[in-house]
Amino acid sequence: MNDRLWAMYLIGRRDFAETIRSIGIYLIIALSLAISLIILYIFGNAVDDPSVDRSQIINFIFMFVVVGISILYLAVNSVTSIAKEKSDKTIEVLFYGPVDEISFIAGKYLSRICLYLFILFITNLVILPAGLLMGIEIPGDFIKITILSVFLISCIISIGIFLSTLTSSVSGSIVLLIGFFIILFVIQLLAGILGLIPIGMDSTLDILRDIVVGLLNATKYISPLEYFGIGGEAIGSGDTGKYFLSILYSTVYSLVFVLLSTGILMRRGIKQ
């Protein structure tokens, strides 16, 4: 067990250090900060009505800019993680030592959680003081939303690593990721279009609607945004129980896909 934990730590530290030494993550942070500060300046000066809660600008910037860009970056980073190791043949070298499938997958997952925490720390270190200087207070639910975002990112990372185990090609893993999100989007779009057509107008359309609704219900279990949405609603309504339930759902979701990734890697082997 101690060897496995040590191997997990080494894999995580290696991945984290490699990313921190690359320019990519700093470009992501710079982009997040640039967009955030522009929005903060524009909306901060435009909203002068004292009845309007200006603090919500911070939540808006955080979710749609910082978290949004982090999702895109870490999704790609995660989905290419194992495929890149396979294409570079470095995965074979790693498995000659104390590293096994469990420590390998867990190390990959934890390193990317740490990367998000790093992004979170740097961006908040700039955005929050900038907001205060403009007279925009930090919203009371900001910490809850920040915690919730960590679990959302956890889900994104776990599904990304899972998809990465399905192919040995970096380009193939990116195609899988794009395909995954396109399928979710198309199902949502079809459900919206069919929802505009009255029930009973056409039997074929009714059958198609039932199929799409069934698929839509199924996607709720594999879309990380669904679990985040539960937490977001809980914050808005002040429902603490529902908030922690959202965190529990996200934790189980992440654990399931981490375990599936481990199982697939064990079954397929490190060379496939």
pLDDT digits (tens, 9 = 90+) for 140-181: 899 999 999 999 999 999 999 999 888 877 788 888 888 888
**Single-letter code of the amino acid located at 168:** S
Structure tokens at 252: 């189980």
152 phi and psi angles, rounded to 5 deg: -65, -45
* Total number of domains constituting the chain: 1
Which is more confidently placed, 33 or 182? Answer: 33
254: alpha, beta or left, given left = phi > 0 and alpha = psi -120 to 50? alpha
Look up the domain containing 166 and give its range: 2-268
pLDDT of residue 85: 76
* pLDDT tens digits, 195-238: 655 665 556 666 676 676 676 666 677 888 888 888 999 998 98
pLDDT of residue 78: 92
Residue 91 banded pLDDT, cuts 50, 70, 90: low
Burial of 4 (0-12, 13-18, 19+ CB in 10 A): middle
Please provide the distance, in angstroms rounded to a whole number, between the alpha carbons at the two ends of the chain: 27
The predicted model scores a pTM of 0.87
Structure tokens at 141: 């639910």
